[in-house]
Amino acid sequence: MWLLLASGCRRRLGRALGAWGPRSGRSGPGAPPAAGLCDPQRSPSRQTSDAPRNQPASAEFVARSVGVCSMMRLPIQASPEGLDAAFVGVPLDIGTSNRPGARFGPRRIREESVMLRSANPSTGALPFQFLMVADLGDVNVNLYNLQDSCRLIQEAYQKIVAAGCVPLTLGGDHTITYPILQAMAKKHGPVGLLHVDAHTDTADKALGEKLYHGTPFRRCVDEGLLDCKRVVQIGIRGSSMTLDPYRYNRNQGFRVVLAEDCWMKSLVPLMGEVRQQMGGKPIYISFDIDALDPAYAPGTGTPEIAGLTPSQALEIIRGCQGLNVVGCDLVEVSPLYDPSGNTALLAANLLFEMLCILPKVKVV
């Protein structure tokens, strides 16, 4: 049945579904649009400008409930070779301090991403015309050992970055950004950081442990992974143990933008300032879904009231157009607290927006 469906759709779509074309790495007239993660076949060489690129399947021809669950129903590829950008899942949540469940975030985000389409008419971005994109599946983490998980993540991302592929990560709790930035720094040196979050994540330790989802950026500072004069944190809020909880961050040179400074206003002017601050050097975007008000994104582990709105989230990401973005992540989606799926749907859309602002994507 699958072969008949794939063959019939291919006849109707032809090159429109690049996922089934020669760049997909499949062979034969009835090959499905996604290879397994352990597919041993040879990885393709880097895409030429006139060759067909992968495209999300159109619901006009392929029902949204059909097919292997991948981000935007893109092909699943075992290797980053030949890709300009890739979606990567990191299903880890043993670094959480409150409600668990972010290990299921990548899967749920992929499920909700069936609603996404290939063009962004609001910005004029057509990412799949300029980028070869696939889903690289999930990093195999160790759910019994956080340190070992970080090692596995770092090793996986070193391979992705070395291949010239920009990773867009589906988290997973915020601990994962630390090993990702370790891999980034090996290629790019210290990077700028746009960190959108309710929390600064610069604690030193908790329960005697120096590694959990409240410490990743403290560890990054310790290791010199960040260009601290180009770190901006937006959406920060909530109660604390002291009246000056942001002293450490500001002492490092971070710009901390509190949520109350964002209330009831457009963030377009702020992002103009951020672009000036970041310049043309490499920048990484780390977006914790709890930056948004829990009215919009309840499915997360450490919600804080009075957060950002979805429209402000779009202004932040779209405001990065033209920057040298070398990687992005969307973390802390916990489907256990997201019965409607709205949090995961929002996360999927934000990841698509991140794809649309990557440097090679031209706005038409």
CA angle in degrees (0–180, nearest 5) for 358-257-304: 95
Maximum alpha-carbon separation in the chain: 65
User: How close are the terminal C-alpha atoms of the chain, in Å?
Assistant: 39
Round to whole Å and give the CA distance between 171 and 295.
21
* Residue 199 labeled ligand binder: yes
CB atoms within 10 A of CB 24: 23
Determine if residue 174 is labeled as part of a ligand binding site: yes
Which residues is 166 bridged to in the sheet? 85
288 is in an annotated binding site: yes
Sheet holding 133-138, edge to edge: 133-138, 85-90, 166-171, 324-331, 282-288, 191-196, 226-236, 255-258
Between CA 206 and CA 98 the distance in angstroms is 12
Could you tell me if 211 and 150 are in contact, meaning their C-beta atoms sit under 8 angstroms apart? yes
Report the alpha-carbon distance of residue 100 to residue 94 in Å, rounded.
Answer: 8
Residue 354: which of 193, 213, 166 has the closest Cα? 166
Could you give the count of Cα atoms lying within 13 Å of 54 in the half-sphere of its Cβ?
31
168 contacts 83 by C-beta, under 8 angstroms: no
Task: Read off the tokens for 253.
Answer: 């040179």
Cβ count near 288 (within 10 Å) = 27
Cα separation, 157 vs 183, in Å, equals: 6
DSSP one-letter code for 358: S
- Residue 90, Cβ density class (10 Å: 0-12 exposed, 13-18 middle, ≥19 buried): buried
Residue ranges for the known binding site for Mn(2+) are 174, 197, 199, 201, 288, 290
Residue ranges for the known binding site are 174, 197, 199, 201, 288, 290
